[in-house]
């Protein structure tokens, strides 16, 4: 793109007519700052101005007969106008009116077209606060945009149309002609113009159904450049010279005796794939997926042990101190008698201890380093880093991964997630990574019984807990908020801990949430683990990293506010022994029927992979992880559930281009280089490095 064109398109929206300072500020908070932004912000829906009564809004046409002002039961005045149409009389009703409007606009015997939401009033059709249309507007398509605050559609669309008329010709083509011809896509100008001005109802319906060539072009382009970016990143991994680990059979025979249990077939297959990467001279970048309790961690420990036996250090990076401490505890048991040592480095480690730990890491005295973000700080220097495990990796972004790689030695990287990722989502977000899946559970695990309750069934839920909470067993009560908030209906731990104590007066109840000090959290979890506490009332801080074998019941309040994937993660806190466990989901008082059906799906399915597919279908890709992930692309046009076939086509096309021209050096790919630099200039090195 030429600099002048880019500058003009990047002009603030304040250059457009009708946009004052407050409007500009409101639009900026809404994600529309520049002329480019407003041109690319598509309508959220279209309205077809029709006399058909099949939709929410329609036109009633007739002659004006008479009007009257009546008083409502509440003592307010209401203006009623009676019209006569082909099908009989109908009303136009205004609750807000004055001498100038609408009375001065209505003349007896003249024809009018009233537009709005059609209802019934006094037994006949009526429109409250109708819009009076010109006859030439019948049959037209009206655009409706998502707007901030009180900004009117009329003011916004006038400014937008000015932008389209003045600046749209300056938008440069971003999709190569070969691809446009192959798929019969329109050029960028025709596409954007059609999406803002579909002209006909048929076009509008095709756009809303995701089938119009103008929208298909925008969807394809968005997905194509994302896939191109992923393949370039993957290509960079192949160029990056990594460590070639020696993994003889004799080494594996030495590791087998320290295994706490026999590996499943799925675990062994995952290790074979990991070992193949470790033995190659390229840097490994592999994502290990596995359901809650499937045994991903032991697979990671074995891979780290192989690195240690090759003389290299390993890092295990966790998003929370709770999870890091859990890994450290389990790893320490795993390493007993091996001659290798582990350390824990988190933000709450005392300054004196941190200094000693960092010295041990730099001197090579410790082979396994477990911790949180504290590991990737600049002052942490490794002696010989060779392997890195990033757990619950969707909570980390590309920058954190790069910071770890920049420590020196180009370590092999194993990313892990207990949130099973549907294939389409995996290809879209993680297409630069190799995939391994552990899709079976270790023998002896009994799936939890899951039951969904409505808010009105709270007493029944508490009785259920009382019946099934045997001596020696423990229970979680999980709430979404820490404290009550007047603007929110979410239940809080601080208010409900008292209620739980009243319900179970003979049980010892503890409280855990994210605002507590690290030492307090650590002690509370230790008390729950040891049995000093029977019931732990907590926020979702227990979602990962808490492993209490005797916990057999988990109650999740406001459960409809969570995604299925997160509910499944929380459910994984129980069922960790040979006893029958129970997961009780309590819906909010205002839960919709659709929301409650989602919870009933938890009763039916125990597979995280099946639930992940449902979650993606029901909630969409934006909410799948329940959090905003650093480095995650947000789609403006694409919906990967709807557009799965386009994902596959875009991926195949991007792969073919990178395979034939790994550096995009050919003149035919000049446009691709330009667009990539334009869209990802700030992170260009990052997505090449990964």
- Same domain as 155, residue 12: yes
| Average pLDDT estimate for 79-101 | 93
Q: Quick one: pLDDT at residue 585?
A: 97
User: Which among 385, 409, 438 is the end of a domain?
Assistant: 438
| Average pLDDT estimate for 161-178 | 95
Q: What is the pLDDT of residues 213-223, one digit of tens each?
A: 999 999 999 99
Q: Quick one: pLDDT at residue 690?
A: 39
Q: What is the pLDDT of residues 551-595, one digit of tens each?
A: 999 999 999 988 888 898 899 899 888 889 999 999 998 898 888
What whole-number percentage of the chain has pLDDT above 90? 55
- Same domain as 509, residue 482: yes
Task: Please check whether residue 173 lies inside any domain of the structure.
Answer: yes
Task: Please check whether residue 273 lies inside any domain of the structure.
Answer: yes
User: What confidence category does residue 442 fall into, taking pLDDT thresholds of 50, 70 and 90?
Assistant: confident
Task: Please check whether residue 589 lies inside any domain of the structure.
Answer: yes
Helix axes 188-196, 201-208, angle to 10 degrees: 100
Residues 308-323 as b/e (b if ≥16 CB within 10 A, e otherwise) read bbbebbbbbbbbbbbb
- Same domain as 266, residue 180: no
CA pair distance 612, 568, nearest whole angstrom: 9
| Average pLDDT estimate for 297-310 | 96
Whether the pLDDT of residue 399 is over 90: the answer is no
Lowest mean pLDDT across 100-109, 284-293, 363-372, 486-495: 486-495
Question: Which tokens sit at 317?
Answer: 């990076």
**Number of independent structural domains in the chain:** 4
Whether the pLDDT of residue 683 is over 60: the answer is no
Task: Please check whether residue 89 lies inside any domain of the structure.
Answer: yes
Can you spell out the DSSP letters for 175-242? Answer: S-HHHHHHHT---HHHHHHHHH---SHHHHHHHHTT-SHHHHHHHHHHHHHHHHHHHHHHHHHHHSB-
User: Which among 586, 605, 624 is the end of a domain?
Assistant: 605
| Mean pLDDT over the full length of the chain | 88
Q: What is the pLDDT of residues 191-209, one digit of tens each?
A: 999 999 998 889 999 999 8
Contact predicate 531/472, CB 8 Å:
yes
Helix (H, G, I), strand (E, B) or coil at 597: helix
- Same domain as 130, residue 151: no
Cα 585 off chain centre by? 22
- Same domain as 133, residue 149: no
| Average pLDDT estimate for 233-262 | 85
Phi and psi at residue 397, in whole multiples of 5°?
A: -105, 180
More confident residue, 593 or 476: 476
pTM of the shown model: 0.72
Phi and psi at residue 149, in whole multiples of 5°?
A: 50, -130
User: What confidence category does residue 401 fall into, taking pLDDT thresholds of 50, 70 and 90?
Assistant: low
Q: Quick one: pLDDT at residue 285?
A: 87
Q: How many residues in total does the chain contain?
A: 690
User: What confidence category does residue 626 fall into, taking pLDDT thresholds of 50, 70 and 90?
Assistant: very low
Task: Please check whether residue 683 lies inside any domain of the structure.
Answer: no
CATH number for the domain spanning 457: value is 3.40.50.300
Task: Please check whether residue 214 lies inside any domain of the structure.
Answer: no
Q: Quick one: pLDDT at residue 393?
A: 58
- Same domain as 530, residue 455: yes
- Same domain as 95, residue 154: no
| Average pLDDT estimate for 431-436 | 86
Whether the pLDDT of residue 617 is over 90: the answer is no
Question: Which tokens sit at 178?
Answer: 């070969």
- Same domain as 600, residue 496: yes
Whether the pLDDT of residue 73 is over 50: the answer is yes
User: What confidence category does residue 545 fall into, taking pLDDT thresholds of 50, 70 and 90?
Assistant: low
User: What confidence category does residue 689 fall into, taking pLDDT thresholds of 50, 70 and 90?
Assistant: very low
Phi and psi at residue 81, in whole multiples of 5°?
A: -115, 130
Lowest mean pLDDT across 129-143, 269-283, 327-341, 612-626: 612-626
Lowest mean pLDDT across 233-242, 356-365, 678-687: 678-687
User: What confidence category does residue 629 fall into, taking pLDDT thresholds of 50, 70 and 90?
Assistant: very low
- Same domain as 260, residue 205: no
- Same domain as 287, residue 359: yes
- Same domain as 23, residue 154: yes
- Same domain as 111, residue 82: yes
User: What confidence category does residue 188 fall into, taking pLDDT thresholds of 50, 70 and 90?
Assistant: very high
Q: Quick one: pLDDT at residue 502?
A: 94
CATH number for the domain spanning 115: value is 2.40.50.140
Task: Please check whether residue 348 lies inside any domain of the structure.
Answer: yes
User: Which among 397, 412, 438 is the end of a domain?
Assistant: 438
CA pair distance 145, 150, nearest whole angstrom: 13
Q: What is the pLDDT of residues 380-395, one digit of tens each?
A: 999 999 999 998 755 5
List the domain range (segments joined by +) for residue 365: 249-438
How many contiguous H segments (helices) and E segments (strands) does the chain have?
A: 24, 21
CA pair distance 117, 126, nearest whole angstrom: 8
Task: Please check whether residue 73 lies inside any domain of the structure.
Answer: yes
Number of C-beta neighbours around residue 676 at 10 A: 19
Q: Quick one: pLDDT at residue 594?
A: 84
User: What confidence category does residue 658 fall into, taking pLDDT thresholds of 50, 70 and 90?
Assistant: very high
More confident residue, 401 or 177: 177
Whether the pLDDT of residue 308 is over 90: the answer is yes
Q: What is the pLDDT of residues 522-534, one digit of tens each?
A: 899 999 999 999 9
User: What confidence category does residue 6 fall into, taking pLDDT thresholds of 50, 70 and 90?
Assistant: low
């Amino acid at each position: 793109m030429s600099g002048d064109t880019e500058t003009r398109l990047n002009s603030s929206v304040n250059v457009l007519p009708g946009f004052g300072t407050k409007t500009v500020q409101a639009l900026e908070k809404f994600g529309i700052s520049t002329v480019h932004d407003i041109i690319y912000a598509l309508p959220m829906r279209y309205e077809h101005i029709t006399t058909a009564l099949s939709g929410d809004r329609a036109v009633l046409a007739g002659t004006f007969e008479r009007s009257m002002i009546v008083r409502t039961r509440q003592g307010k005045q209401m203006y009623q106008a009676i019209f006569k149409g082909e099908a009989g009389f109908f009303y136009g009703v205004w609750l807000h009116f004055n001498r100038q409007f609408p009375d001065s606009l209505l003349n007896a015997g003249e024809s009018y077209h009233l537009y709005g939401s059609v209802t019934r009033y006094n037994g006949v059709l009526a429109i409250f606060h109708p819009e009076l249309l010109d006859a030439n507007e019948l049959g037209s398509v009206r655009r409706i945009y998502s707007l901030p605050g009180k900004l009117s559609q009329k003011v916004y669309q006038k400014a937008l149309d000015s932008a389209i008329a003045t600046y749209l010709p300056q938008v440069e083509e971003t999709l190569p002609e070969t691809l446009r011809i192959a798929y019969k896509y329109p050029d960028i100008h025709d596409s954007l113009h059609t999406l803002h001005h579909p002209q006909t109802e048929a076009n509008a319906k095709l756009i809303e159904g995701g089938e119009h060539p103008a929208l298909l072009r925008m969807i394809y382009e968005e997905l194509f450049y994302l896939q191109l970016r992923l393949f370039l990143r993957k290509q960079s991994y192949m160029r990056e010279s990594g460590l070639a680990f020696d993994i003889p059979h004799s080494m594996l025979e030495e590791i087998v005796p320290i295994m706490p249990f026999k590996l499943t077939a799925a675990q062994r297959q995952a290790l074979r794939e990991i070992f193949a990467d470790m033995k190659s001279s390229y840097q490994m970048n592999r994502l290990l997926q596995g359901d809650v309790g499937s045994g991903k961690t032991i697979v990671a420990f074995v891979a780290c042990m192989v690195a240690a036996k090759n003389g290299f250090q390993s890092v295990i990076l966790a998003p929370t101190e709770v999870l890091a401490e859990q890994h450290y505890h389990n790893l320490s048991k795993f390493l007993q008698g091996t001659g290798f040592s582990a350390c824990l480095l988190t933000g709450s480690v005392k300054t004196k201890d941190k200094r000693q730990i960092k010295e041990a890491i730099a001197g090579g005295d410790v082979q396994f380093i477990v911790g949180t973000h504290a590991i990737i700080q600049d002052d942490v220097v490794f002696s010989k880093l060779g392997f890195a495990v990033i757990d619950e990796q969707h909570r980390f972004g590309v920058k954190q991964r790069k910071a770890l790689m920049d420590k020196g030695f180009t370590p092999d990287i194993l990313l892990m997630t207990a949130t099973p990722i549907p294939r389409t989502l995996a290809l879209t977000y993680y297409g630069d990574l190799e995939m391994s899946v552990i899709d079976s559970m270790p023998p002896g695990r009994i799936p939890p019984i899951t039951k969904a309750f409505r808010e009105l069934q709270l007493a029944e839920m508490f009785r259920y807990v009382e019946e099934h909470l045997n001596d020696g067993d423990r229970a979680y009560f999980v709430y979404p908020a820490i404290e009550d908030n007047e603007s929110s209906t979410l239940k809080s731990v601080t208010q409900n801990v008292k209620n739980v104590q009243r319900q179970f007066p003979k049980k010892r109840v503890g409280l855990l949430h994210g605002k507590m000090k690290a030492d307090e959290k650590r002690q509370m979890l230790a008390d729950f683990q040891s049995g000093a506490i029977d019931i732990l009332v907590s926020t979702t801080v227990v979602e990962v990293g808490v492993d209490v074998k005797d916990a057999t019941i988990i109650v999740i309040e406001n459960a409809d506010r969570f995604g299925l994937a997160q509910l499944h993660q929380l459910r994984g806190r129980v069922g960790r022994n040979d006893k029958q466990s129970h997961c009780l989901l309590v819906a909010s008082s205002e839960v919709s029927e659709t929301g409650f059906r989602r919870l009933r799906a938890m009763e039916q399915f125990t597979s995280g992979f099946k639930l992940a597919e449902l979650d993606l279908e029901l909630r969409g890709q934006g909410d799948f992880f329940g959090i905003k992930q650093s480095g995650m692309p947000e789609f403006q046009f694409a919906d990967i559930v709807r557009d799965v076939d386009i994902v596959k086509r875009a991926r195949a096309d991007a792969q073919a281009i990178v395979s034939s021209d790994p550096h995009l050096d050919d003149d035919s790919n000049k446009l691709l280089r330009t667009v990539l630099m334009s869209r990802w200039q700030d992170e260009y090195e990052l997505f090449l490095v990964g």
